[in-house]
Amino acid sequence: MSSEFLKYLIFGSIGLFAIIIFAYYIINKKLNGADRKYERQLRAGTKVSNFSFDILYQKLYITYTKIPFIKRYLRKIRRRIELINIEDEYNTRRNASKVMTKALAIVLVLTIVVIMVAASNMLLLIMLLMIELFIVETLVDASVDKLDNNLLKEQVDFFSEIRHAYNECNMVEEAIYQVSLDEEKAVSRQADKIYEILISDDPESELEKYYDIAPNSYLKEFAGVSYLTKEFGDRKENGASLYLKNLNNITKEMQLEILKRDKLDYVFQSLSFIAAVPIVLIEPLKNWSISNFSFTNSFYNGKGGLIVMIIVLLLTVISFYLIRNIKDTTKSNVTNSQNPWQEKLYKNPIVKKIVNLFIPKQGSKEYRSLSKKLKDAASKAKMEDFFINKITICLLAFVVSMWLVNQLHKTAIDYVYTDITAATTVNIMGDLDERDAVKAEKVTEQDNYFLDKLKGKVNTSNEEEAKKIIKKEIKYSKYYKNALDEELDTATNRIYTKLQTISDESLKWFEILIALICALGGYMAPNAMLVFQLKMRQLEMEDEVMQYQTIILMLMKIERVNVEIILEWLERYSNIFKSQISKCVNNYEAGAWEALEQLKNDVTYIPFIRIIESMQAAVEKIPIKDAFDELDTERDYYQEKRKESNERLISKKGMVGKVIGFAPMVTLFVGYLIIPLVVVGMLNMSTSFTSMSKMM
C-alpha cells in the first residue's frame, strides 16, 4: 500500500507542477499585452529595483485573500494583529501575511516529514495530518503572541519617554504627541490614537470606543489616566506629580507581566515539544521492536498496537489543547465573538428544533447554572452555540468510534493474511532466517488460498464438522497431494484457527455500546472543558484582584473620582469577575450600598470582598482616599506580594502542565514499548515451553 501511495503522490506532484507551469505561461502571456506594457512604462520610474520582503508580503496577502480556506484563516490572524497595528492597514497586512507564510511553510515541512514517517500506515498518516493542523494553529498563535509581547516591551520604554516629555512641557497631550513621532514602533501608533482622542471634541465617547479595541489593559489604563489628568488637572503628592506616579505604577505592572509571560513561555515551550514528540516516535519504535523482537509483530500489527496508537494520538491532541489553555498569558481583546458555522446551522428550522430539545428551559436551575459557568469561564459562546458544539462532538465521537472499530476488525483480518510467522515456529529474539522465512511465506500463501475459498462456507462454531470440510479440501488440493495425515491435521488446525479468527471479527453489541459511551463522553467534553477553564481562572484570581488594587491606587487621589467611576474602571479591566461587576454597575443608580452588597454576595474571594467593603465605606461614611488608605501605606508590601503571587501561579501552572505534557510520552513508552515486550514475550515463552514439553 505504501508503494502505491508514494506512486500516486509522485504523479500528483508532477501533475501539479505541470499545472503551475501552464498557469505561469498563460499569466505571463497576458502580462505582456499592450495594455500591461503601457502600464509598466508608466510605473517604471516609481519602482524600487532592490528586492523587498515588505512588498512580497503585501502581494502574498492579496493572493491569500483569494484562496478559500486560507482566506478564512488569514482573517482570524488579522483580527488579532489589527488591534496592535491600530488603523495601519499596511503593517496589518504585512504582519498577517508574514505569519500566514510561516504557517504554510511549517505545514509543507511537517507534511513531508509525516509522509516520510507514516507512509506505510494510512491510519497513522491521516491522524498525523489532522494533528499537524492543530500544531500549526498553536505555532501561529505563538507568533501573534510574540507581536503582543513585543508591544508590551515597547510600552515600558514608551512610558519612560513620556515621563521625560511631560517634565519638559507639563502637558499630557503634548508629551504623548512628542513621543508618538517615532513611526517605526507599534506603540507609537497607539500613542497617536490616544493623542487624537484627547484633542477631539468628545474625548469621553472616543475613549470608550478605544477601550473596545485597545490591545492590552495597560494601554487602557494609560489612556484613562491621561484623560482624567487632562480634564481635572495634575496635582502634587509628596512633592511629586500624581500623573507620573500613576505612570510608574502602570510600568511596574507591565514589568511584572513581562516577567510572568517570559517564565511561562520558557516552561511551556519545552512541554509543547515533549507532548508532540510521541507522534513522531510511534512508527520508529514499532519498526525497532519488530526488527529486534519478532514476537511483538502480533501486537504491533494487530488490535493491541492499533488501540495503543490511537490512545497516544488522542492524548497528544488533548495535551496540546490543554497546555495551550493552561498557558493563556495573553488576554486578547478580539471583539469578534461570533461562531459563524454554529449560527448558520442554528438558522436551519430542523436543526433548531433538535438543538432546542437539548437546551434546558430558561429560568430553570440547570439553565441558570450553565449560564453562570459560561460567564465565569469567560466563554464567548452563546447557549445555542454551546449545545451545537456538544451535539456535533457527540456525533463525531460516535462516527469516529465506529470507524475505528471497523479498522480494528480490518487490521485483525489483514494480520491473519499477512503474518508469515503464524505458520511456523517463532524466533523470539529476532527475525526468521532466510530459509525459514521463504518457507513461512510459502505456507502463508497456501493458507490464504484456502481461507479465500472456505471463508463464509464453513461453520466455525461446529469444530468437528468444520475441520472435516477443511481437511477434505486440503487433502485433494495441489499443495498437499502426497502429505501425511499428521501434516494434514496440522494444516487443518492452523487454517481452522485462522477461519475462526476471521469469522469472529464482526461487529458486536459491546462495541456499539463502547461507541455510545464515547459519544456520551464527546457530549460531556465541552462541560469538562468549561470546568477546566474555571479551575485555571481561579488560579489567576489573586493576580486580577491585585491589579484592581493598582487601579484604585491610581484613582483614589484624583479629584472628582467616586465609587461609581472606580467600579466602571474595574469592569473595564476585569476578566474573572467581569459579569459580577457589570451587574453591580447596572444596579448602582438604584442604590449604591445595595448594589455593592449584592456584589459582595456574588463573589466568594476574600481579598475582593475586602475591596468591596472599602467601597461601601466610601459611599456613605468616609472619603475614597481614607477608605483605601491601607493600599497606599502598604504599597511596597503589595508589590512584593504580587511578585510572590506570580511565582506561585507559574509554579502551579507548570506542575499541571508537566503532568499533562508528559502523559503522551509515558503512555508511548509504557503502553507501546515496555508492555508489549514483557507481556507478549512472556506469552510466547509460555507457548514455547508448552510445545517443548509436548515434544518431550
Instruction: For residue range 483-496, list pLDDT tens digits in order.
Output: 777 877 888 888 88
Instruction: Output the average pLDDT for the chain.
Output: 79
Phi and psi dihedrals of 241, rounded to 5?
-65, 130
According to the per-residue pLDDT averaged within each range, which of 15-19, 102-106, 340-344, 637-641 is highest?
Answer: 102-106
- Name the least confident of 98-107, 260-269, 380-389, 453-462: 453-462
- Compute the 3-state secondary structure of the chain and give helix, strand, coil in percent, each to the nearest 5: 80, 0, 15
Task: Give the count of beta carbons closer than 10 Å to the beta carbon of residue 513.
Answer: 10
Q: Is the pLDDT higher at 12 or at 615?
A: 615
Burial 131-140 (b: 16+ CB within 10 A, else e): bbeebbebbb
Determine the pLDDT at residue 321. 79
Determine the pLDDT at residue 125. 75
- Name the least confident of 177-191, 214-228, 428-442, 604-618: 428-442
- Name the least confident of 14-18, 92-96, 320-324: 14-18
Determine the pLDDT at residue 394. 92
Exposure of 315 in the CB half-sphere (CA atoms within 13 A) = 22
The yes-or-no verdict on residue 234 having pLDDT over 50 is: yes
How far is 567 from 619, CA to CA, in rounded Å?
12
CA dihedral 510, 515, 517, 521 (to 10 degrees): 160
Determine the pLDDT at residue 423. 45
Q: Is the pLDDT higher at 692 or at 196?
A: 196
Got the DSSP string for 611-678?
Answer: HHHHHHHHHHTS-HHHHTHHHHHTHHHHHHHHHHHHHHHHHHHHHHHHHHHHHHHHHHHIIIIIHIII
Determine the pLDDT at residue 431. 54
Residue with cell 508514494: 6
- Name the least confident of 80-89, 404-413, 426-435: 426-435
Determine the pLDDT at residue 424. 45
How far is 602 from 111, CA to CA, in rounded Å?
50
The yes-or-no verdict on residue 581 having pLDDT over 60 is: yes
How far is 325 from 537, CA to CA, in rounded Å?
10
236 SS3 class: strand
Determine the pLDDT at residue 46. 47
Determine the pLDDT at residue 426. 46
Determine the pLDDT at residue 398. 92
The yes-or-no verdict on residue 498 having pLDDT over 80 is: yes
Percent of the residues in the chain that have a pLDDT greater than 70, as a whole number: 84
Determine the pLDDT at residue 183. 67
510-531 residue pLDDT tens: 888 999 999 999 899 888 888 8
Q: For residue 495, give the nearest of 517, 469, 476 by alpha carbon.
A: 469
The yes-or-no verdict on residue 401 having pLDDT over 80 is: yes
Q: Is the pLDDT higher at 596 or at 276?
A: 596
How far is 685 from 678, CA to CA, in rounded Å?
10
According to the per-residue pLDDT averaged within each range, which of 74-83, 236-245, 354-363, 532-541 is highest?
Answer: 354-363
The yes-or-no verdict on residue 333 having pLDDT over 60 is: no
Instruction: Tell me the average pLDDT across 670-687.
Output: 77
Instruction: Tell me the average pLDDT across 498-517.
Output: 85
Task: Give the count of beta carbons closer than 10 Å to the beta carbon of residue 303.
Answer: 16
Q: Are strands 240-241 and 236-237 parallel, antiparallel or unpaired?
A: antiparallel
The yes-or-no verdict on residue 689 having pLDDT over 90 is: no
Domain spans of the chain, in order of start: 1-35
For residue 120, give Cα distances in angstroms to 117, 125, 407.
Answer: 8, 8, 15
Determine the pLDDT at residue 513. 93
Instruction: Tell me the average pLDDT across 261-266.
Output: 84
The yes-or-no verdict on residue 682 having pLDDT over 80 is: no
Got the DSSP string for 408-456?
Answer: HHHHHHHHHHH-GGGGS---TTSPPPHHHHHHHHHHHHHHHHHHHHHTT
